[in-house]
Every structure is written in C-alpha cells, then in structure tokens.
Amino acid sequence: MNMNTQVSTQPRSTLIGRLADRLIAGQYQMAVKSLQMEAPDALEQIVAQADPALDSSVAAEIERLLRTGGAPFVRFEKTLMPQMQARFGVTEEQMGALEARELAAMKKRCNSCSEAARCWQALRGGESAEQCRELCPNADTFERL
C-alpha cells in the first residue's frame, strides 16, 4: 500500500462512496498500527521525513500516536529536532559548537515535549520559524545560534 497516495478529501455523496472512503481510511490506520507494532524504525523514519505528500489518513493516525504518547520509540531529537533546527536556519556546525550539557538539555526538552504532534504538523505544513517558535521548547536556543 502506497502511503503517499492521496485519497480524496471530499466526502463522496453516495453510500457506496462513503463506505469505500471509510474502508480506505481504516486500511491506512491498520497499516500505521502494523508499523507501530512490527516496524517501529520504519514509522520513526516516516516521522523524520515529515513528508507533506503523506496521505492525510496516515498523517492523522501518526499525529494521534504522537499526541497520545503512542509512539514512545520515536526519538524526537533524531526525527523532529534536526528539521526544526533547519527551519530556524541553524547549521550542524553551529550545533556542534554547543557545550555538551546544553545540547543534552535541548535533546531532553525535545524528547519530553508535549507538542510533538503539532511540531510534526508544522514541519509537514512548511510553517516558518516564526510560527514554529510558539511551540518549540528549543526556539530560544535556535534563535540565539
């Protein structure tokens, strides 16, 4: 099943059409559940990519997992933080110049962040650093760099 295939976001008017839409959405939900249980590394890679072309049903299920703590295997410092760092225009060289203690604190803030679902949505949606500032616990450090 290609998870980048877009399913129409317009509800179908016929009963058969609506049933087909629900069936397709349910299949994507089951696919994400399977990834969660059997291939968490693959699911972590999907989170890391934050692909805006990802099917909306798949994205909604991943967002639900991130919002409810259903993806404890996803290391946000490895998946979301590098993208947020790039969104703020911070280079690897700048990050490397941080003291180990400060970098560890940034990773800890990211991993324990309660806004992971919103963060992922913002990254997938191409929101600006200004918009991301409101939800990122590391925004001050990124801006300082």
Q: How confident is the model at residue 30 (pLDDT cuts 50, 70, 90)?
A: confident
Using DSSP, state whether 53 is helix, strand or coil.
Answer: coil
Going by pLDDT thresholds of 50, 70 and 90, the confidence category of residue 120 is: very high
Q: How far apart are CA 42 and CA 76, in angstroms?
A: 14
Residue 48 is predicted with a pLDDT of: 96
Helix-helix angle 56-68:40-49, to 10 degrees? 110
Please give the Cα distance from 112 to 132 (Å, whole number).
17
Contact between 3 and 55 (Cβ < 8 Å): yes
pLDDT of residue 2 exceeding 90, the answer is: no
φ, ψ (nearest 5 deg) of residue 70: -80, 10
- Cα 40 to Cα 132: distance, rounded to the nearest angstrom: 26
Confidence of residue 33 (pLDDT cuts 50, 70, 90): confident
pLDDT above 90: residue 100: yes
Percent of the chain with pLDDT over 90: 69
pLDDT at 5 over 70: no
Rounded average pLDDT over 17-38: 80
- Show the tokens assigned to 124: 């997938």
